[in-house]
Structure 1
Amino acid sequence: MSARVVAQAEEAVAEIRAFDAETTGELASLDAILLRSESASSSQIEHLTASARAVAEAEVTQAGRGNAAVIAANAEAMVAAVELADRLDAAAILGMQEALLRGSAPHLVGWRTDAVWIGPGGSTPLTADFVPPHHSRIPEAIDDLVEFCGRDDLPVLAQAAVAHAQFETIHPFADGNGRTGRALVHALLRAKGVTRHVTVPLSGGLLHDREQYVEALDAYRDGDIAPIVSAFAIAGLRAVQHGRTMRARLAVVRNDWRERVRARSDSAVWHLADLLIAKPVVDAKTAARHLGVAETNVHRHLKVLVDAGVLVPASHHKSRRTLWRAPDVLGVLDAYARDVGRRAR
């Protein structure tokens, strides 16, 4: 890599480390909402979109098989990636994809066993834009990738970018390659100690210029690693900016709640309010489990937040139960989605 690209990557790593350190002792639920934002952006790169409310409802009800359910599953894959960061091997990669697809396409879990190719509709292996390796070569290629991920003599973000690009080139799955490959980046950043507390929404940074990201992957396959490293460096800087903006917006929401809610400082209502930052849609069972009380006793705490306008109850037609949503938090998530969807000038 050129000195310019190396410097760009190191600047991004420094900013990511700083942002991660800043979050210590702040909103306990910030990581959960950043992880949800990352999974939504990663899905949006694959043209899978849904409102923050729909995704949050899908997480609670486990009902439905549309985009919202798929995006909710992507959040599970992100959690799996972070949890498996201390043992990045072939089994860990399979675990990420399994978390992603077990609800929507369990028959596609595991290494692909057929030829695949990437290109417009009607393309063939002869006319495709890219043809990944034969499926018989996947296990050996993944073992090689795992060995590369284990190296400790490389600039971390460059290593993560190249690992991601190589993973996408191997294209080991019949479905879920892009989202699993971006989850792999977060596992690497956690394994290398760049992030310790939060999941930085890198996919939001990539989504800001999706065409550049795709072109960088193409360049990698032509033998040029600089564009993909640069793309991840720029995405890292944007991700930190988006993360700080989201943190500031959530702080405003939390301060506003303190003004509106009438409850003692030691009331369980405030613990429930903390939960809503991480889970902006809850049912009575989830709220009761969080507070450690019986489900029959949680409704009085929910009512305090409803009376203050923090929560809005509604009947969920698919699960046939009442859900409570926090519009202020959902608004922050939807604002983030709009922000990252705007293409850079």
Structure 2
Amino acid sequence: MSSPTDEPGPAPTDAVDPGLALTYETHEWDRSGEDDSLRMSRRARLAARGPYRAAVPPEIADHEFAIDPAALAEAEDALLEIARFDTELSATRYAEETDGETDRSGEFAPLAAILLRTESASSSQIENVTAGAKALAMAAIHEKSGPNAQMVAANVEAMERAVAASDDLSEASILAAHAALMAGQEHARPGRYRESQVWIGSGASTPHTASFVPPHEDRVQPAMADLIVFCERTDLPVLAHVAIAHAQFETIHPFADGNGRTGRALVHVMLKRAGVTRRITVPVSAGLLGDTAGYFGALTAYRAGDPRPIVEQFSRATFTAVTNGRTLKADVDAIHQGWTETLTSRRGSAARRMLPHLLRQPAVTVRMVEQLLSVSNPAALRAIDTLVADGILTSASENRRNRVWIAEEVIAALDEFAARAVRRP
């Protein structure tokens, strides 16, 4: 291993911090690890000869950051927008009066679950892992679905675990989130740091021609320990702190796979730890989806020593995400209101008590209704029959033994949210 050296990069600007810019070191390339099935041209083989250069991330635990005041002001405005959105949604109630008492079952949970699921789906989509709302709803109840839907469902679980454990921001909690995300995918070493070199760049079969080569595996654990100390700081503006921590995580790239999704889960852990969000997951990844080129470009700028673009990218993504989230909330409110007016069953009935649950999980089985409402099998069947007769549920499978019913209006609202997310504002 040679001593780190400066890597030629963008021309210096007032925003570039030399102490934050990556340095690089050379490593010998072990050709025995190459995949013999890969076919490369003579030019590509020549380019893959000899040592390669891997990044050396700076220690940031105690680094003094100087970020453009205008970028910080925009980040503070975005942070206030997140707090407002959290307050707005926390005041939402999906409840009804029954015999003079308010039925609180699932009163807020639907919106929290919907937003967490949309954030997980958007985070996966940044990595080109896409799944429609119906496929994801089916995967969430372990019904037959494609591999992408199963991966997104795993991302939902990983996000849930990470946010629930936000009081314990540690290497162990990050490893646990990764284990949930990549469960069953042994190539990714679920819950363990990588033990080999990785690189980024489509078509690059070796690190020599990659667009970015993260640190050598020997540097991963020390770099992650430094990052955790940085995450504990309280002297930085919250959104800038979050954006920089995310950029550093993506630069370290500690896992063999699943880095982007795990790194975006870290964003929500930090927002909750800072008290910015109390009950919701703001779909920041959905905001990033509208400009993925800008997002990846901001990560590149951070590695060159300029943290301003990643802070700005997170600020813009926040405003976009909250706008989209408010539209989704309005759609969900309208769906619930329409259901309450359409449903012919009496107050307090099993069918009526299922409505908030259908917002949260729009694919259900008879067994789920039994468990959610603590009712008998005949009562669950009657509830589903009523919901079908009133046009709220439709059958999604012909399997009489394990039939699934879908709330199509919710599926449509979630798909429309996803479609809005990929449009540039």
State the 1:124 CA deviation. Answer: 2.4
Please state whether the residue corresponding to 1:85 is helix, strand or coil: coil
What is the distance in 1 between the residues matched to 2:187 and 2:209? 30
State the 1:325 CA deviation. Answer: 0.4
1:206 to 278, 285, 288: 288
State the 1:106 CA deviation. Answer: 7.2
2:174 is aligned to 93
2:126 is aligned to 45
Amino acid at match of 1:335: E
What is the distance in 1 between the residues matched to 2:401 and 2:291? 40
Counterparts in 2 of 1:129 and 1:107: CA distance versus 1, 3 Å: closer
Amino acid at match of 2:339: W
2:221 to 124, 128, 139: 139
1:321 to 392, 402, 410: 402
What is the distance in 1 between the residues matched to 2:413 and 2:186? 30
State the 1:105 CA deviation. Answer: 4.4
Please state whether the residue corresponding to 1:168 is helix, strand or coil: helix
What is the distance in 2 between the residues matched to 1:296 and 1:132? 58
- Give ranges in structure 1 of 5+ residues lacking alignment: none
Decide whether the 8 Å contact of 2:187 with 2:256 is kept in 1.
no
Whether 2:302 is the aligned partner of 1:236: answer no
Decide whether the 8 Å contact of 1:49 with 1:67 is kept in 2.
yes
State the 1:284 CA deviation. Answer: 1.4
2:418 is aligned to 337
Decide whether the 8 Å contact of 2:188 with 2:258 is kept in 1.
no
Whether 2:261 is the aligned partner of 1:179: answer yes
Q: CA RMSD in A?
A: 1.5
What is the distance in 2 between the residues matched to 1:120 and 1:67? 20
2:363 is aligned to 281
What is the distance in 1 between the residues matched to 2:336 and 2:184? 34
Q: Which sits farther off after the overlay, 55-64 or 152-161?
A: 55-64
Q: Deviation per CA, 1:114-138, whole angstroms, max 9, x where unpaired?
A: 1111112134222211111111111
What is the distance in 1 between the residues matched to 2:132 and 2:116? 16
State the 1:3 CA deviation. Answer: 1.0
Amino acid at match of 1:41: S
1:151 is aligned to 233
Decide whether the 8 Å contact of 2:119 with 2:285 is kept in 1.
yes
What is the distance in 1 between the residues matched to 2:249 and 2:359? 33
Decide whether the 8 Å contact of 1:63 with 1:69 is kept in 2.
no
Whether 2:290 is the aligned partner of 1:224: answer no
What is the distance in 1 between the residues matched to 2:187 and 2:153? 15
State the 1:84 CA deviation. Answer: 1.3
Counterparts in 2 of 1:199 and 1:311: CA distance versus 1, 3 Å: same
Q: Which sits farther off after the overlay, 164-173 or 137-146?
A: 137-146
What is the distance in 2 between the residues matched to 1:243 and 1:269? 27
Residue identity over aligned pairs, in percent, reads 47
Decide whether the 8 Å contact of 1:73 with 1:103 is kept in 2.
no
Richer in helix (by share): 1
1:121 to 203, 223, 233: 203
Higher relative contact order (CA 8 A, sep 6+): 1
Whether 2:376 is the aligned partner of 1:294: answer yes
Larger radius of gyration, structure 1 or 2? 2
Amino acid at match of 2:172: A
Decide whether the 8 Å contact of 1:13 with 1:194 is kept in 2.
yes
What is the distance in 2 between the residues matched to 1:333 and 1:105? 31
1:197 is aligned to 279
Q: Deviation per CA, 1:139-175, whole angstroms, max 9, x where unpaired?
A: 1111111101011111011010000000000000001
What is the distance in 2 between the residues matched to 1:289 and 1:249? 27
Whether 2:113 is the aligned partner of 1:32: answer yes
- Give ranges in structure 2 of 5+ residues lacking alignment: 1-66, 95-107
Decide whether the 8 Å contact of 2:350 with 2:379 is kept in 1.
no
Please state whether the residue corresponding to 1:232 is helix, strand or coil: helix
Please state whether the residue corresponding to 2:404 is helix, strand or coil: strand
2:135 to 51, 54, 65: 54
Whether 2:88 is the aligned partner of 1:6: answer no
What is the distance in 1 between the residues matched to 2:418 and 2:221? 36
Amino acid at match of 1:37: T
What is the distance in 2 between the residues matched to 1:54 and 1:65? 7
Q: Deviation per CA, 1:281-320, whole angstroms, max 9, x where unpaired?
A: 1111222111012334311111111001000113267x97
1:151-170 equivalences in 2 (<5 Å): 151-170=233-252
What is the distance in 2 between the residues matched to 1:113 and 1:316? 47
Decide whether the 8 Å contact of 1:65 with 1:104 is kept in 2.
no
Please state whether the residue corresponding to 1:302 is helix, strand or coil: helix
Q: Which sits farther off after the overlay, 58-67 or 234-243?
A: 58-67
What is the distance in 1 between the residues matched to 2:253 and 2:376? 47
Counterparts in 2 of 1:107 and 1:175: CA distance versus 1, 3 Å: closer
Q: Which sits farther off after the overlay, 122-131 or 249-258?
A: 122-131
Please state whether the residue corresponding to 1:78 is helix, strand or coil: helix
Please state whether the residue corresponding to 2:397 is helix, strand or coil: strand
